Amino acid sequence: MITQAPRGVQDWYGENMHRRAVVEKIARDLARTYNITEIITPVFEHTVLFQRGVGETTDVVQKEMYTFEDKGGRSITLKPEGTAGVMRAYLEHNLYANPQPVKFYYVTPAFRYEKPQSGRLRQHHQFGVEFVGAQSPLAEVEVISLVAALIKKLGLKDAKLHINSIGCKDCRKTYNDALLKYLSEHESELCETCRDRMKTNPLRVIDCKVDSCKKIVKDAPRTIDYLDEDCRNHFEELQALLTELKIPFEIDTGIVRGLDYYTKTVFEFVNSEGFTLCGGGRYDGLIHEIDEKQDIPSVGFGMGIERILYFLDKEGVDLPSMDVPELYVGILGKDAKARAYRLVNEIRSHGIIVETDYLDRSVKAQMKYANKIGAKKTVIIGSDELANNRANVKDMQSGEQTEVALDEIPGLFA
């Protein structure tokens, strides 16, 4: 057991780490063009933050959180998602006093106790954006367009935008009454969890994955038919903006998202098999849930890095390969070590990847190693090279060799 990681987590190294780093860099660079700055929040928070922010009735809070008591007797939870922590930081540091809106992105680990499966682990990583302080549907369009641009830059083709509106707390009350009336007629056919959800949060039943419940929910009332005038106008403007931007979308009344803090717009990017790549929406009441003195609108999304990599594999999308050394500096003899390593450092100072020998291998073994790691060029430094202050730089692909003064070798790469 000591040499085996716990179930539902993974180590990142080699090609997998490189692919993850490429995805994260593309996401970070894109966020910068939207003038969205990075935020890092703690890996753990007070449990009450997620109970109030995410919602007591959600599966996340009820079944999936890693919660423990620290040595001070405080209930602490490893973050199951990124949004609540960002909102806590926004409030704690009085960021509402800054020019609005405030836009943050994060790349963070998240922890959920659930059955590990492809693209979903107990410790996974999320790229997310929080757009705080704007009521306009243009805020939703901003984050949706960023996701659409990211999907395009990554080379994914099988991902379509699905949108819905679940209304505000006012029209939700009317909808919940209608939904509860419908569900009551089929209560005996619902799973035990959904029978409990009927009493606490009927909307959660729409999101149930149990086949018998899905069959009943198919004919249930939809939130979109119970929107008040403000929510309806908001949703219509969102559609008009997306159409103007030529971002194709489909209205999907089955989307309600799994967290209680959503209001009005909810959206997902879904592939042709129904798997969700990314989800988000508007949560105008979240900050008020955390701090009742504040009432500030917000929009955002979360996208699992592992889920992105899974989709890239599924579609056979190639990411840029790992960089290989531009030069391998071979060392022949103890006397050449210092001069050879000085050359390595000089070239590295120009931002060039250089590798050398640390195992006192033979020249033949060093060249074999240089070939394995894909070094583009090689040079051997030994007593003759030190005496003549010259060495042969070899192109590993063409086999061509060029004699160069030792002091001039860095200039070949700078």
DSSP notation for 193-239:
HHHHHHHH-THHHHT---HHHHHHHTTS--GGGG--HHHHHHHHHHH
User: Is 319's pLDDT higher than 90?
Assistant: yes
| Residue 248 DSSP SS3 | coil
User: Is 148's pLDDT higher than 90?
Assistant: yes
9-13, 260-264, 352-356, 374-378: least confidently modelled range: 260-264
User: Is 101's pLDDT higher than 80?
Assistant: yes
Cross-strand pairs, 268:
162, 279
Average pLDDT, the chain: 93
**Full DSSP string of 92-146:** HTTGGGSSSPEEEEEEEEEE--S--BTTB-SEEEEEEEEEES--STHHHHHHHHH
pLDDT bracket for residue 387 (50, 70, 90): very high
- The pLDDT of residue 62: 79
pTM of the entire structure? Answer: 0.90
pLDDT bracket for residue 217 (50, 70, 90): confident
Query: Among candidates 163, 167, 164, which has minimal Cα distance to 269?
Result: 163
Type of residue found at 163? I
- The pLDDT of residue 260: 67
Q: What would the two tokens of residue 408 be?
A: 């001039």
User: Is 33's pLDDT higher than 70?
Assistant: yes
Query: Among candidates 310, 357, 352, which has minimal Cα distance to 329?
Result: 357
Mean pLDDT, range 315-323, rounded to an integer: 94
**Full DSSP string of 286-327:** HHHHH-TT----EEEEEEEHHHHHHHHHHHTPPPPPPP--SE
Crossing angle of helices 169-184 and 192-200, in 10° steps, is 140
- The pLDDT of residue 15: 95
The pLDDT tens digits of the residues spanning 2-19 come to 899 999 999 999 999 999
- The pLDDT of residue 337: 96
Chain-centre distance of CA 321, in angstroms? 20
User: Is 320's pLDDT higher than 70?
Assistant: yes
pLDDT bracket for residue 118 (50, 70, 90): low
CA-to-CA distance for 55 and 49, rounded, in angstroms?
Answer: 9
* Residue 296 or residue 255, greater confidence: 296
* Residue 414 or residue 136, greater confidence: 136
Query: Among candidates 321, 288, 380, 57, which has minimal Cα distance to 194?
Result: 57
- The pLDDT of residue 40: 98
Mean pLDDT, range 393-403, rounded to an integer: 96
Handedness of CA 119, 124, 125, 126 (dihedral sign): positive
- The pLDDT of residue 129: 98
SS3 percent helix, strand, coil of the chain, rounded to 5, is 45, 20, 35
- The pLDDT of residue 274: 87
User: Is 103's pLDDT higher than 80?
Assistant: yes
Q: What would the two tokens of residue 335 be?
A: 């006397």
User: Is 331's pLDDT higher than 90?
Assistant: yes
Mean pLDDT, range 28-35, rounded to an integer: 98
User: Is 384's pLDDT higher than 70?
Assistant: yes
Query: Among candidates 250, 322, 262, which has minimal Cα distance to 298?
Result: 262
The pLDDT tens digits of the residues spanning 152-178 come to 999 999 999 999 999 998 888 888 888
- The pLDDT of residue 192: 84
**Torsion angle of C-alpha atoms 54, 55, 61, 66, degrees rounded to 10:** 40
Mean pLDDT, range 342-360, rounded to an integer: 97
For 236, residues 6+ apart whose C-beta sits below 8 A from its C-beta are none
Mean pLDDT, range 264-284, rounded to an integer: 93
CA-to-CA distance for 54 and 286, rounded, in angstroms?
Answer: 8
The pLDDT tens digits of the residues spanning 80-93 come to 999 999 999 999 99
User: Is 408's pLDDT higher than 70?
Assistant: yes
- The pLDDT of residue 397: 95
Read off φ and ψ for residue 80, nearest 5 degrees: -85, -15
- The pLDDT of residue 57: 64
Contact status, residue 164 vs residue 224, Cβ threshold 8 Å? yes
Handedness of CA 69, 72, 78, 81 (dihedral sign): positive
